[in-house]
Amino acid sequence: MHYEISYPESKLDKVMTLDQFEQVVEAILAGKYSWACVLILRFGGYNPLHYIPYRTYNRLLKEHQTTTKAKGNRPNHINPTQTLDEQRSQSLTKNEIRKAYGTKIKEQLLDSVRIGDSLTR
Look up the pTM and report it.
Answer: 0.51
pLDDT at 25 over 90: yes
pLDDT at 76 over 70: no
Amino acid found at 88: R
pLDDT of residue 93: 58
Mean pLDDT of 47-69: 90
Task: Pick the most confident of 51-60, 69-78, 110-119.
Answer: 51-60
pLDDT at 27 over 90: yes
pLDDT of residue 75: 47
